[in-house]
Every structure is written in structure tokens, then in C-alpha cells.
Amino acid sequence: MDWDNQYRIRQTPWDKGAPAPPLLEWIKAYPEAINGSILVPGSGAGHDVRALASLTQSGAVVGLDISGLATRLAESFPRAHNESYLTGDLFDLPASQKCAYDWVWEHTCFCAIDPFRRDAYVKAVHEALKPGGQLLAVFFLNPYDDEHLPNGGPPHGTSLEELALRFEGSGKFRIEDSYIPRQAYEGREGLEQVMRMTKLV
């Protein structure tokens, strides 16, 4: 997928113009829980980055996106608090981004990458987190089938079994919480799973 081109031609149907409802629901339920630094991989227009920066006790909140145009778009919004944006590849993190974060917020990055890169995704997020760091995620559970998306391509769905296998099975994470969020963008109701995991080793 040529992500820069998607932003250039403004084909960004994933951009709902607002933070992910399951993220807002989580912050409301656990207002004190998130502190320290946060990485948001595949941050797009940065709606979740700004929500995390303005609604939590976070330190630095960094949105990382492989598309320079996404970074520019995110930077065009008024600054919320302590957020910043980086153009870069999650699968090729510079040394400065390794063991650097207390939290990672995942939303529509895991489902956007090719499924064959999922173990590499687990490794990359593990590398970005400090020891004991937290991965907070909302995962798309099989959003489309062949009938609706005959040519394949993102979003690529997943299952609870696959998530447990990839994250816990790798020995890199322990799943602490897992639930279906009550709040969702229109059309995603019941298709998502929120998970919080702790980085091991």
C-alpha cells in the first residue's frame, strides 16, 4: 500500500475526524492510569495523539507514521498539549525510539499492515516499550469478508485466538484486559476488541 499516495489523493476512509471512541471510553474509565510517554504507531491525522495529549497525565505523546503527508496533516491541527509527530517506519525504529515508551496506543495500524508482518509488529512494539510498558490497543476483528473486499488489502481482520497466539505466544506480552468496547465509530460496533497488555522480559 502506498500510504503517501492515499493521503495525496485524499482516499483516507479510516479518518473519522475524531479520536477512536474506545480510546475515549478507556480514558474516562481510567482517568489516572495513563502517564509517562506514549507512542501511537500509524497515527494518521493524529486525532488519537491529540486526545491522549489533552485528556491524560501523559508525558510526551509521539505519533509515528510512515507517510510524510500524514505527518504534515497531523501537524496542521492546533497543538493540544505535549504531542509531536515523526515520519518513520514502525519496522525500522531508530535507536532513540527503542525502550523509549511507557505506553503504546494501537488503533488501525495492526489491521493496516500486511498480515505476514504481524510477528514483526509484535517485535517492533515490544522494542519501543520500556520494560513493563503497556500496550493498549483496539483491534479490528475480521472487519470485512471477501464479498465486501474481493481484492484483499487493508483492513485485515484478526481473531482473539490469533491475538493471543501472536502476543502471548511470543512470550513478549501478557494480556491483562480484553473486552468489546461499548463506544465505537458508526459501523464498527461489535467488530472491535480492546486489549491491554504488559511487556514481558
CB of 22 or CB of 133, closer to ligand SAM = 22
Site for ligand SAM in 71-130 (CB under 6 A): 89-91, 107-109, 112-113
Which of 38, 51, 70, 128 forms a contact with ligand SAM (CB under 6 A)? 70
CB of 14 or CB of 144, closer to ligand SAM = 14
Rounded least distance, CB 45 to ligand SAM, Å: 6
Cell of 158: 484478526
Rounded least distance, CB 17 to ligand SAM, Å: 9
The answer to whether residue 139 forms part of the interface with ligand SAM (CB under 6 A) is no
CB of 56 or CB of 108, closer to ligand SAM = 108
The answer to whether residue 15 forms part of the interface with ligand SAM (CB under 6 A) is yes
Binding site for ligand SAM (CB under 6 A): 3, 14-15, 41-45, 64-67, 70, 89-91, 107-109, 112-113
